[in-house]
Structure 1
Amino acid sequence: MTTLVPPLAWASRTYRVQTAATVVSGLGNAAAPIATAFAVLATGGGTAEVGYVTGARLLPTVLFLLVGGALADRLPRQRVMVAANTFNALSQAVLAALVLTGHAGLPALVLLSAAGGIGQAFYGPASQGVLMASVPAEHATRAFSIFQMARNAAQIGGAALGGALTAVVGPGWVLAIDAFGFAAAAALRLLIPAEEAGAGHGGASMLTELREGWREFVGRRWLWAIVVQFGVVIACVEATETVYGPVVAKEQLGGASSWGLAMAAFGLGMVLAGIPLAAWRPRRILLAGNWGVFLFAAPALALALHLSLPLLAVAMFAAGTGVTLFGINWMIALQQEIPPALLSRVSAYDALGSICLAPLGTALAGPAATALTLPGALWTCALTTLLLAALALLVPEVRTLARTEAP
């Protein structure tokens, strides 16, 4: 008699809860930036004020990431995630109340946006460690593919829902929904057994532990080489998606709706790529992932070449596919090569190095377009991305790092 095995029999309770909680909080978290931007505009602010509030969230994330990573390896990661989600729920609830009552001035918006960034700095490294510890190595490809599909789908749906709800009921209620989502995610993560999420330790000082994480980070050439690559690549991607893309859409493609369709194609590529990638098990994981980085340049190339909207959508779809291709194989490499007790600290160094230049990329996008012309700036972003993806292949470990488990 043939025994039927459930398709997700390999998925542990921790993995299921973590994925579900990520979807719940991701829906509201994707809608919140749209609602916050319109809340700023409703107070009489303009582009600069929206930038201040956006930057207020990113800066604390960068500043506190390393502390969050050390804490997540020091304490049970489940508790760190629950505390961070609860903190975000409270800060968003206060922000929602201020917006709904008409008392949300710019200082309050900046302060509460910064609070959200602090919560993310503590949540991110702990979440990464929990997810990787919950997945058996032999099922890593499938597990990370499903997780990425679920997270990306939540972000796409949340952004679309956020835009619609902000127009219908106003930004205050959307922020309230985000607060509820964080609270629900915290409640769900209480179901994760603390011992399965990293038991933590309390021996050495936090500074000593950060040094230990740094030694692990710089001691692996493939790790810091990819992170350095991404520091510049992400700055180019941010400049393209947040500055150049909307400008080109307004001048040549019919306006914001066209750029919205292009971004939707990008998100669709991220989600749909997870389906075939769940079954693909490349032997050389970093080599496979780095091919996806080449696709990151497709949107800038399409915009520089003045391609039509359908062709731009194809380029955006390809870039989304590249994001998922890289992301899945990068997570497999980290899970396989980094000791579990150091996962959160290494993830913090990874995140910090990858996003630290993003604000500079958006800040310099305007001056670069003035100095180089808009097509010149787009060509610079595209060629820089392609060059860095090629240079990464010069690192022997990027070409040769292989799976350790048998297919």
Structure 2
Amino acid sequence: MTTPPPRRSRPGRPSWAGRNYTLLTAAAVATGLGNAGALIAAAFAVLDAGGDSGDVGLVAAARTVPLVVFLLIGGALADRLPRHRVMVAANAANCLSQAAFAALVLSGEAQLWQMALLSAIGGTGHAFFSPAAEGMLLSTVTSEQAGRAFAFFRMGVNGSQIGGAALGGALIAVVGPGWMLAVDAAAFAVAGSLRAFLDVRDVTPREPGGGMLADLRDGWREFATRPWLWSIVLQFAVVNAVIGAAEAVYGPLVAEEHLGGARPWGLALAAFGAGTVLGGLLMTRWRPRRLLLAGTLCVLPIAMPSAALALPLPVPLLAVVMFVSGVSIEVFGVSWMTALHQEIPEDKLSRVAAYDMLGSIALLPLAMSLAGPAENAFGRTASLWGCSTLILLLTLAVLTVPDVRRLRRREPGPTAKGPVADGPLGEGPATPGPTADEGQHRALP
């Protein structure tokens, strides 16, 4: 593959922040603003319609089931089709589904099956969006600047989620969840428009493949032969599931009964977002030599929010806990993205990203669906303590994997891997999320 010469960035932008990196970041910020509030709005829309914790979990699971079903197909297509077109089409689907969701809620006639169906449409769109988006982003920066670029990108997304969570909580409290869902639909429209302007003139033509199944097998071999990769994905299969149950199902219920409703819960989520911004600032300066060791150690504090909800802590203390966990997970997120950028071959990026995301979300539908029954069987407090315990035990288990402890940052040199800014956007290494369009993908990174 021939890498085109680097293009000059405009004055006021770093040399590595080319046109495509800037457009991708701006689009992710737009959806971050909408999604942070929409996550809260969907839960409260179900509660306002007379649903209970089980119904909240079912609607959340309805979004995740098609994401699990179609994600591998989305990854294979993203390695075959122009990725920017896949992204724009997915944004359009998400825009329409959220607009319909908002209209139903505002009409006062929303039924559970309708909310679940529209959530499923949104999840299908994201299944095709995420693998393409991850490859697009990571291919826009050089290896030398990868860590800093990913940190700035994540800071933009997480900063938008601070405003989005605070806006969502306030808007829901004042005018109800329907208008927040309408804002999210508009954010998807803006993001799709920005991504339509990506410069793809230098996209390297794709080599004809041996069919989708052959492509998926190649991606699986790349994934399965790296112990550090599959062990962390297995860890987050459970970690993300219990975090999803704790924060998407139990969190709004605890807020409704003990904290004062949607506004303080939105502020607590905003505190998490503020922590991720600080973590991003830290990672623009800190370059841990052992990428995954540093990142995995920082997963341990993610057990604290579930414990805080179990007690439950007052809102100010809950916000502190969320802030600390946000800082910690951002260290993991940037370290993970840098490791993938460094280690994964560019031509297999979207497929590996699809396996990564599939493993990370595979148990989410089950956890969301079982959150209500678990509360009935064991009580909400015991269920939340169980979430914290699982996170701690699995993270300690991953630290026993030698490759996780030993994988080192490769200093850039003449043979360093990675295309230049605004290089061939058809390929690039995978990222663990957050893609803003998902809201929260990997433990909230």
Assess same fold via TM > 0.5: yes
Q: Does the aligned pair in 2 maintain the 1:236–1:381 contact within 8 Å?
A: yes
Which residue of the partner structure matches residue 358 of structure 2? 352
Q: Specify the alignment match of 1:84 in structure 2.
A: 90
Residue of structure 1 in register with 2:443 after alignment: none
- 1:18 CA drift (Å): 0.2
Specify the SS of the correspondent of 2:192.
helix
- Displacement of 1:135 in angstroms is 1.4
- What is aligned with 1:27? 33
Deviation at 1:220, TM superposition (A): 0.8
2:220 equivalent to 1:229: no
Amino acid in structure 1 at the alignment position of 2:336:
W
Task: Identify the match of residue 286 of structure 2 among 280, 287, 292.
Answer: 280
- Indicate which of 318, 340, 350 corresponds to 1:334: 340
Q: Give the aligned partner of residue 208 of structure 1.
A: 214
Q: Specify the SS of the correspondent of 1:283.
A: coil
Q: CA 1:214–1:251 in 2, change beyond 3 Å: closer, same or farther? A: same
Shift of the 209–35 alpha-carbon distance from structure 1 to 2, 3 Å rule, reads same
Give the 3-state SS of the residue equivalent to 1:297 in structure 2: helix
C-alpha separation in 2, matches of 1:280 and 1:110: 43
Q: Which residue pairs with 2:418 in the alignment?
A: none
The DSSP-based 3-state class of the residue aligned with 1:137 is coil
TM-superposed CA distance for 1:83, in Å, is 1.3
Following superposition, the deviation at residue 185 of structure 1 comes to 1.2
Shift of 1:179: 2.4
Q: Structure 2: how far apart are the matches of 1:366 and 1:44?
A: 15
Gaps of 5+ in 2: 1-10, 414-445
Amino acid at match of 1:67: I
Q: Find the aligned partners of 1:351 and 1:138 in 2 and give their Cα distance.
A: 26
Does structure 2 retain, via aligned residues, the 8 Å contact 1:266–1:320?
yes
Which deviates more from structure 2 when the two are superposed, residues 65-74 or residues 23-32?
23-32
Asked whether 1:325 is paired with 2:345, we answer no
Shift of 1:175: 3.2
Instruction: Find out whether 1:127 has 2:133 as its counterpart.
Output: yes
Counterpart of 1:385 (choices 380, 387, 391) is 391
Determine if contact 2:143/2:412 at 8 Å carries over to the other structure: no
User: Aligned equivalents of 2:40 and 2:311: distance in 1?
Assistant: 30
8 A contact 1:75–1:199 mirrored in 2? no
- Residue by residue over 1:288-314, the C-alpha shift from the partner in whole angstroms, topping out at 9 and shown as x without a partner, is 111111111122344556655544433
- From 143, 146, 157, the equivalent of 1:151 is 157
Deviations 1:307-332 (A, max 9, x none): 55544433222211121111101011
- Does the 8 Å contact 2:58/2:369 carry over to 1? no
Q: Larger deviation: 211-220 or 360-369?
A: 360-369
The answer to which of 173-182 and 163-172 deviates more is 163-172
Pair 105,298 (structure 1): closer, same or farther in 2 beyond 3 Å:
closer
Secondary structure, aligned partner of 2:14:
coil
Q: 1:162 aligns with which of 168, 177, 183?
A: 168
Letter in 1 for 2:299: V
- Report the equivalent of 1:400: 406
Q: Give a deviation string over 1:37-60, Cα, whole Å, max 9, x none.
A: 454455555544443332221111
User: In terms of mean alpha carbon deviation, does 365-374 or 171-180 score higher?
Assistant: 365-374
Q: Structure 1 residues 264, 361: closer, same or farther in 2, change over 3 A? A: same
CA change 1:380–1:13 in 2 (3 A) is same
User: Does the Cα contact within 8 Å between 1:133 and 1:197 map onto a contact in 2?
Assistant: no
TM-score norm. by structure 2 comes to 0.81
In the TM superposition, what is the alpha-carbon distance from 1:162 to its structure 2 partner?
2.8
Q: How far apart are 1:337 and its partner, in Å?
A: 0.7
Check whether the contact 2:62–2:365 (CA below 8 A) recurs between aligned residues. Answer: no
> Aligned with 2:16: secondary structure?
coil
CA contact (8 A) 2:57 2:368 kept: no
Point out the more displaced range, 178-187 or 111-120.
178-187
Q: Give the whole-Å Cα distance in 2 for the aligned partners of 1:358 and 1:364.
A: 10
User: 1:139 Cα deviation (Å)?
Assistant: 0.8
Q: Retained in 2: the 8 A contact 1:41–1:50?
A: yes
Give the distance between the partners of 2:193 and 2:249, measured in 1 at CA. 38
**8 A Cα contact 2:150 2:334, kept in partner:** yes
Closer, same or farther: CA 255–292 of 1 in aligned 2, 3 Å: same
Task: Look up the SS of the partner of 2:299 in the other structure.
Answer: helix
Residue-pair matches, total: 404
Q: Say yes or no: does 1:12 pair with 2:21.
A: no
Deviations 1:368-395 (A, max 9, x none): 5566565544443323222221221211
Give the Cα–Cα distance (whole angstroms) in 1 for the partners of residues 273 and 385 of structure 2.
23
Percent of pairs with identical residues: 56
Bigger helix fraction: 1
* 1:314 pairs with one of 313, 320, 326: 320
TM-score (norm 1): 0.88
SS at match of 1:287: helix
CA RMSD of aligned residues (A): 2.9
Aligned mates of 2:56, 2:260 — CA distance in 1: 24
Q: Deviations over 1:13-65 (max 9, x none)?
A: 11111000111122223333344445445555554444333222111111111
CA contact (8 A) 1:198 1:341 kept: no
Match of 1:118 in 2: 124
